[in-house]
Amino acid sequence: MTEIEVSDGVVATRWQRGTVRELRPMSPDLVALRIELPDRIPHLPGQHYVVRLTAEDGYTASRSYSIASAPSDELLELCVERLPDGEVSGYLYDVLEVGDEIEVRGPIGGWFVWDGRTPAAGIGGGSGVVPFVSMLRHARDLNPAGLLKLAVSARTTQQLPYADELISYGATVVMTGMPGGRRLDATDLGPLLGGVATAYICGSAGFAEAMSRLAVDLDFPAAQVKVERFGPTG
Ligand SMILES: Cc1cc2nc3c(=O)[nH]c(=O)nc-3n(C[C@H](O)[C@H](O)[C@H](O)COP(=O)(O)OP(=O)(O)OC[C@H]3O[C@@H](n4cnc5c(N)ncnc54)[C@H](O)[C@@H]3O)c2cc1C
C-alpha cells in the first residue's frame, strides 16, 4: 500500500510504478497518458501527481502533472504539453510507449481541490485547463446541474487540451492567438463568478496573476480565490 499517512484530509504517498495503458495524442504538442496503478489512492479533482524519470546513471528528473481523470475513472489520466527542449515533457511525448512502466507519486495537494458539492468557477489557461477537466468529469458524474462554470483560454484551439470536451460542457472558450482573438476579460469573468463559492485559477504565472487581479477587481473576495501556477520546475 502506498498510502502512509492521513492528516487533515491530506494523504502522503510513496513512489509506485504504473503501467501506461493508453497514449492519446490530442494535438501536435499534447498527449494524454492513461496509467494503471497497482495502488490507486482516491483523488479529488484539482490534485496532481509527480512523475519521476531515472536515467541509467541514476540521474533523476521529477515534474508535476495535474490529474485529468474523474475520481470514478479506473485509470489515472495525465495530460502533457511538450515544451521546446523540455526534459521531462519531451520524454513523455516522444519516447514513452504503451506498456512502459512509469514512476509516479500522488495524489498530491489539499488546497486546490474541489469536492463537487459547492458552486465553483474554473478559469484556466493553456495546459492549466487540465485540473478543470477532472472537475467537469466529476461534475458530470455527480450530475449537480450548473455547480461548476468554466472559462478557458489558449493561443489556438490546437493548444487547448480537451477542447472538444470543454466546449461541449459549455465552457467559455477564448483564443488569444487567432485572428480576432482576445484574452479572458471582465465580460467573461463577471457572469462566471456570480453566485460561486470558490474561483479556481490555473495556468502560467502571468495568466494566474492577471486572472486573480481581474477577479478581485470584480469584487470577488480574494480569500475565495485558489490559484495553481504551472511555472518551470526548479
Ligand atoms: C502543480 C503543477 C501541475 C502541473 N500540471 C501540468 C499538466 O497538467 N500538464 C503539463 O503539461 N504541465 C504541467 N505542469 C508543468 C510541468 O510540471 C513541467 O513544468 C513541464 O512539463 C515542463 O517540464 P520539462 O521538464 O519538459 O521542461 P524543462 O526541461 O524543465 O524546461 C524546458 C524549458 O521550458 C521552460 N518551462 C518549464 N516549465 C514550463 C511551463 N510549465 N510553462 C512554460 N515554460 C516552461 C523552462 O524555463 C525551459 O526554458 C504542472 C506544474 C505544476 C507545478
Q: What is the DSSP letter of 67?
A: B
Residue given cell 474561483 in the structure block = 199
Q: What is the pLDDT of residue 77?
A: 98
Q: Is the dihedral of CA 180, 185, 190, 195 positive or negative?
A: positive
Closest CA to 133 of 152, 106, 105: 152
Which of 49, 77, 228, 230 is the best mutation target for the ligand 1 pocket, counting ligand atoms within 8 Å of the beta carbon and taking the most?
Answer: 230
The DSSP bridge pattern shows strands 120-125 and 148-154 to be parallel
Residue 88 beta carbon below 6 angstroms from any ligand 1 atom: yes
Cβ(152)–Cβ(171) below 8 Å = yes
7 Cα–ligand 1 center, Å: 29
Q: What is the pLDDT of residue 218?
A: 97
Per-residue pLDDT of the chain (234 residues; tens, 9 = 90+): 343 333 344 556 899 999 999 999 999 899 999 999 999 999 999 999 999 999 999 999 999 999 999 999 999 999 999 999 999 999 999 999 999 999 999 999 999 999 999 999 999 999 999 999 999 999 999 987 789 999 999 999 889 999 999 999 999 999 999 888 999 999 999 999 999 999 999 999 999 999 999 999 999 999 999 999 987 654
Is residue 24 classed as helix, strand or coil in its secondary structure? strand
| CATH T-level fold of 120-229 | Rossmann fold (3.40.50)
Using CA atoms, how far apart are residues 55 and 2, in angstroms rounded to an integer?
23
Using CA atoms, how far apart are residues 20 and 104, in angstroms rounded to an integer?
11
Residue 227 beta carbon below 6 angstroms from any ligand 1 atom: no
Looking at ligand 1, which residue's alpha carbon is closest to its atom 44? 232
Residue given cell 462554470 in the structure block = 149
Class of the CATH domain delimited by 3-108 = mainly beta
Q: What is the pLDDT of residue 53?
A: 97
Is residue 110 classed as helix, strand or coil in its secondary structure? coil
The three three-digit cell numbers of residue 13, written as one number: 504517498
Q: What is the pLDDT of residue 3?
A: 39
The three three-digit cell numbers of residue 65, written as one number: 502533472
Domain ranges of the chain: 3-108, 120-229
Q: What is the pLDDT of residue 13?
A: 81
110 Cα–ligand 1 center, Å: 21
Q: What is the pLDDT of residue 145?
A: 74
pTM, full prediction = 0.93
Cβ of 59: how many Cβ atoms within 10 Å? 8
The three three-digit cell numbers of residue 152, written as one number: 478557458
Using CA atoms, how far apart are residues 124 and 130, in angstroms rounded to an integer?
8
